[in-house]
């Protein structure tokens, strides 16, 4: 979800105002994705590297996360959306973990779209953590294949992403779901995240539907719903 700071700078506002404005984009993306029948939506909210930002900005981001969960929990429940966090929660403040636990517990029985928030997340760290779990479990090298390793990741049991969307014209994957996006289609828009709305998401989905997915072999038609 890139471009919050630049969005604010263009309007001569503090960076934190860009983060606040991005909440509406989250709401639009979650609600439309659920209506489209998408199985899993993952938003990259806060990376491990984001701790390097000024403490005041980090505090605002965490406060906005708590505010979103409190305000939107009823909407998630009404839309049968299940909420999950991927990433290391150990470094998060107790009040943030408490709000995350409430949202995950109250939506756990929902059977519709799975909404992941990647929080304190790093793709490389996730892979290292999965390798460590395999070692602790005593998995022999010849027993560890791709399927078993995938089951050790934060996203165990979830389908790999079909589509990766980058806002604000960024042309990199930024340490996001490095294992899972091996065959994901990438769609880039110059639109800053605070301006990203349902129409932009629809544009991305329509562009995805027109692509031929070959996986190194025969052509496979793109399918919406994952």
Q: Reduced to 3 states, what is the DSSP secondary structure of residue 176?
A: coil
Cα-to-chain-centroid distance, residue 189? 17
- Distance of alpha carbon 48 from alpha carbon 51, whole angstroms: 6
- Distance of alpha carbon 25 from alpha carbon 1, whole angstroms: 9
- Distance of alpha carbon 128 from alpha carbon 122, whole angstroms: 10
Q: Reduced to 3 states, what is the DSSP secondary structure of residue 205?
A: helix
Q: Helix 94-107 to helix 55-78 angle, to the nearest 10 degrees?
A: 20
Instruction: Tell me how far apart the terminal alpha carbons of the chain are, to the nearest angstrom.
Output: 20
Which residues are marked as active site?
A: 2, 50
CA nearest to 21, candidates 68, 59, 58: 68
């Amino acid at each position: 979800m890139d471009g919050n700071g630049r969005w604010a700078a263009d309007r001569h506002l503090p960076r934190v105002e860009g983060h606040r404005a991005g909440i509406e984009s989250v709401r639009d993306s979650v609600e439309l994705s659920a209506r489209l029948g998408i199985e899993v939506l993952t938003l990259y909210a806060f990376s491990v590297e984001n701790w390097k930002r000024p403490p005041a900005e980090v505090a605002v981001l965490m406060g906005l996360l708590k505010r979103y969960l409190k305000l939107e929990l009823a909407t998630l429940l009404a839309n049968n959306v299940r909420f999950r966090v991927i990433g290391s929660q150990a470094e998060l403040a107790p009040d943030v973990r408490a709000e995350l636990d409430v949202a995950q517990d109250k939506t756990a029985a929902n059977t519709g779209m799975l909404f992941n928030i990647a929080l304190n997340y790093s793709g490389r760290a996730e892979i290292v953590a999965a390798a460590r779990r395999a070692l602790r479990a005593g998995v022999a090298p010849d027993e560890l294949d791709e399927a078993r390793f995938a089951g050790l990741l934060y996203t165990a049991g979830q389908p790999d992403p079909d589509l990766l969307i980058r806002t604000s014209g960024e042309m990199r994957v930024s340490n996001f779901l490095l294992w899972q996006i091996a065959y994901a289609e990438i769609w880039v828009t110059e639109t800053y995240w605070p301006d990203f709305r349902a129409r932009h998401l629809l544009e991305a989905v329509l562009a995805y539907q027109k692509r031929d997915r070959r996986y190194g072999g025969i052509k496979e038609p793109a399918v919406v719903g994952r």
